[in-house]
Chains A and B, each alone.
Chain A
């Protein structure tokens, strides 16, 4: 079983739609959680850290469920510019563990 698992997608949504991604992790000792965004042929960029109580940044909302060991990312009012791959990241033993990413395609 992979340490971090994500649905690879792609998720195809129209502009304005709400889309949600889930990610599960296997290490119950993980302490920090993140969502990164990666555009084609570019470096991953930190989208948001995920806090235990959940957090929101504009159109983006992240939730953490420690009991079930999953993290979610909700994107509201999708824009064309949201098209990218979204990486779920958790801390492992002295390192980060990356999921393989979920691809989002937002169409006009």
Chain B
């Protein structure tokens, strides 16, 4: 258990409304990630963070923004939700593989199911 929680776990919203998803971790890991998972696509990286206020884009970042004001929280915002953003969103942290300092493994939160109507 990597101590990752996500909120809300489920959300239904209307097209055009802003939505913020929260990821919270308890182990002070530096790297945090947001992914979306859709049928036929696997998990795709939206944004990631490598420290407080340090973030970068992933492969599907259009329409999303992120913020990280504290080590433990990584927020994903959909400024104006669209139906194409209906998906399952997973947050992840990266931590060193046991017994190593240079190899990292990612662990995932329970996910948020977002439906945009």
Report A's interface with B, CB cutoff 8 A. Answer: 4, 32, 34, 42-46, 49, 87, 95-96, 98-101
Least CB distance from B67 to A in Å reads 20
Inter-chain contact A45/B97, CB cutoff 8 Å: no
Which residue of chain A is the closest to B98 with respect to CB atoms? A49
**Across the interface, which residues of A come within 8 angstroms of B41, CB to CB?**
100
List 6 interface pairs A-B (beta carbons < 8 Å), by A numbering.
A4-B42, A34-B105, A43-B110, A44-B90, A98-B43, A99-B42
Inter-chain contact B105/A44, CB cutoff 8 Å: no
Please tell me if B107 contacts chain A, counting CB pairs below 8 Å.
Answer: yes
Chain A facing B: main interface SS: strand
Number of A-B contacts (CB under 8 A): 37
Which residue of chain A is the closest to B97 with respect to CB atoms? A49
Least CB distance from B1 to A in Å reads 10
Inter-chain contact B103/A49, CB cutoff 8 Å: yes
> A43-B90, A43-B111, A49-B97 known; A95 and B45 CB under 8 Å?
yes
